[in-house]
Amino acid sequence: MKKSLLKSAGLLLLGSTLLLGVPVSGAYAEDAGAPVRDQAPAAAPTAFVQLSGPSLASPGETFAVSVSLSGATGSATAGKFIFEYDPSSFEYISAAAGNPEVSIAGVNAETGKLTIVATDADGSLTDAGAVLALTFKAKAAGDISGINGYVELGADDGSVVQTPEQSLAVQIAGSAPGDLNGNSVIDVGDLSFLLKYFGIDASDVNWGSAAIGDFNKNNAIDLADLAALGKKVLYDNGQPFQLMEADIMSIQNAMAAGKLTSVELVQMYLDRIHEYDDELHSIISINPDALTLAKAMDDERQEKGPRGLLHGIPIIVKDNYDTLGMKTTAGCKCLDDNQTVSDAFIVKKLKDAGAIILAKANLSEFAINTDTLSSLGGQTQDPYDLTKNPGGSSGGTGASLAANFAAAGLGTDTGGSIRIPSSWNSIVGIRPTIGLTSRDGIIPLALSQDVGGPMARTVADAAILLDAVSGYDPNDIATAGSVGKKPASYTQYLDKNGLKGARIGLVLDSSVAGSNQEVLGLLNKAADDMRAQGATVVGVNIPNVADILKYPSLSGYEFKFNLNAYLSNTRFVDPAAIRNHSLTDIIAGNEFLTSLTNTLNTRNGVESLDTEEYKDILLFRTRLTQQSLLGLMADNDLDAILYPSTTGPTGGSSGSANRLSPFSGFPAISLPAGFVASGLPVGIELLGRPYGEGELIKLGYAYEQATHNRKAPELFPALPVPAK
């Protein structure tokens, strides 16, 4: 008996990472009555359970796990195998004998635990090869290292050896499709491995090594196999698609890898809008054709490939952009019959790029204020604090993107209407140089200051959007100035080392930076973060800043004339369909916010733009602002000027800094800078030279990648994944 016990002790299986067992001690010595303490222990057993299966498993994928005993010696006729696993990651499906010599005497499946009794009358469990074949289904992406095993073995003399209650070391023998070098990652090393066997077929002596790369199963390693693996290296990291905070590239990668369709993506965003917008009030209307358009984009992708990075991507646009098939209202009940007859130039460019206009966002009525309150859309709330407004006038776009209702969006900016809501919703907003993007087909506020631009959760997405929407439009002569000044792609400026060697001017003027200590603290932290990335940040004062900020916005002068021109232009509106054809008609109809009564009447009373007062503002304000900013940048050799996007956090003061960009016409980018103690977001703004969007994107991207200040609002979490 003692000899048999010593023999079976060699089958002990333990789970240390060194695959070592516990030595046999005095309990098994020759004289059982008196332990021999000084006797040398038996050699540590080297046997272990080996689980073989995929190194990567995708959600919903059914996969096999082979169970064998490796390194074991001696005879074992029975084994009780216990497997434990995380039921949130894996679902047990079935078990079968691994070879004809093995029989399964019983299976007990519990949640997270599987017990199987297996027998082999010949006593060869230890050398039978595969003992069991298990089938699991992955609920989340992962590998089989999350499945742990124990075993009790019965020797042929009837003795039992029970392993200690600890996990067995796992060897992953299988590999994910494409993981040719066995490192559990699909990478360029796998492609190099396959290239070594390019051109061989099943008759080659090396076919055993190359067969795993025969993706099209034609018994040869050909161009199709290289393309299939190249696609995996590019797009498929083995992880499931996650909607929350998804950026455009991750969406395109998921689509390219076959994990996601545009139809599925659109439905995910629609589900979030339907679930959450009753609280947020960020959306005025949803495109009734969104799913149909998504299906068309999926079909086109399948037949011809994607048009570009925006192919099948859902976009939310502010409801002052003309959009075929949808009303364009500027948030006013007075325009709820404005079923426009054309797309705004920017909207058409998005559609041509393959984007899907998912919805129209709420705005401050006629884009006049910064609170995002309208007679048609009501009051939009800020997703970080539902008791506060999200800024404006593009607050509907800002709030909806912060809450993950779409991939990216469009706003318009006359004073601070892109950058204020970007600051208060912890997103990125770009106000382009006047002339880089067309205003044609956008309900105007003041064309001398109006500009449309991208809003997104990341700098990269804003750059992708700016690529699509910028450029010359013969119907907006201001865009002629952009000819020859737009780069091949703004994405070429996405350099995480972009702050290295840069010179940034930190504005010290309190009239621009404000006096809120928390905001100033985040501004100074941003300056320190930029210094840590290799930038030189110097304090500066803007020349003539007091005189610049004394000037008013020209919306009080231009609004009536610009709006009347829009309402009378048959390229935009159907005069037979709309009931209001001028600001006078709108005031008479009294279908607008009562709080705007005095503002609309005052602006309707402006009789002419041919006045010295208007011309002096247009000329001297523009010249003074431009010369002051350019002189400051030249004198200090600056790449950009830095100040807070808003002088207060969400619901606080928007300040005066937002005037510098529209008064000069120069570009500016707002970036998430973090949160004050109350949990409300604040942004910083970088202003650059005319048509210097690329430089601002480079600086902003480097800052974003070094800080990752944006955090999604906790009030709008991911929706439960529907059961399949």
Q: Using alpha carbons only, give the angle 439, 443, 447 rounded to the nearest 5 degrees.
A: 50
Q: Which of 656, 679, 658, 682 is nearest to 522 (CA)?
A: 682
Q: Which of 359, 698, 650 is nearest to 502 (CA)?
A: 698
Q: Which of 267, 270, 265, 273 is nearest to 243 (CA)?
A: 265
- Beta pairing class for 283-286 and 130-138: unpaired
**DSSP H or E run through 540:** strand 536-540
Round to whole Å and give the CA distance between 239 and 579: 53
Round to whole Å and give the CA distance between 358 and 346: 15
Which alpha helices (DSSP H) does 150-246 contain, by range? 188-195, 207-210, 223-235
What torsion, rounded to 10 degrees, do the Cα atoms 718, 719, 720, 724 define? -110
Active site amino acids: 318, 393, 417
Asked if 11 contacts 47 with a C-beta cutoff of 8 angstroms, the reply is yes
Q: Which two tokens stand for residue 203?
A: 């008759």
Q: Which one-letter DSSP state was computed for residue 551? A: S
Question: What is the number of other CB atoms lying within 10 angstroms of the CB of residue 72?
Answer: 22
How many angstroms separate the Cα of 78 from the Cα of each of 94, 96, 135, 160, 198? 20, 15, 21, 9, 47
Asked if 668 contacts 645 with a C-beta cutoff of 8 angstroms, the reply is no
How many angstroms separate the Cα of 441 from the Cα of each of 398, 399, 430, 560, 561? 21, 24, 20, 16, 15
Q: Which of 249, 229, 141 is nearest to 186 (CA)?
A: 229
| CB neighbour list of residue 219: distance below 8 Å, 6 or more residues apart | 201, 202
Q: How many CA atoms lie within 13 A of 258 on its CB side?
A: 5
Asked if 190 contacts 229 with a C-beta cutoff of 8 angstroms, the reply is yes
Instruction: Evaluate the omega torsion of the peptide bond into residue 184 and state whether it is cis, within 30 degrees of 0.
Output: no
Bridge partner residues of 537 (DSSP): 504
3-state SS class at 117: strand
Q: Which one-letter DSSP state was computed for residue 73? A: -
Amino acid identity at 490: Y
Question: What is the number of other CB atoms lying within 10 angstroms of the CB of residue 27?
Answer: 8
Asked if 315 contacts 411 with a C-beta cutoff of 8 angstroms, the reply is no
Q: How many CA atoms lie within 13 A of 1 on its CB side?
A: 7
Round to whole Å and give the CA distance between 487 and 505: 25
What torsion, rounded to 10 degrees, do the Cα atoms 128, 129, 133, 134 define? 110
Round to whole Å and give the CA distance between 558 and 580: 19
- What's the farthest any 2 CA atoms get from each other in the chain? 117
Round to whole Å and give the CA distance between 67 and 48: 10
Asked if 54 contacts 144 with a C-beta cutoff of 8 angstroms, the reply is yes
Q: Which one-letter DSSP state was computed for residue 62? A: E
3-state SS class at 205: coil
3-state SS class at 145: helix
3-state SS class at 426: coil
Question: What is the number of other CB atoms lying within 10 angstroms of the CB of residue 123?
Answer: 18
| CB neighbour list of residue 147: distance below 8 Å, 6 or more residues apart | 51, 65, 83, 84, 85, 90, 136, 170
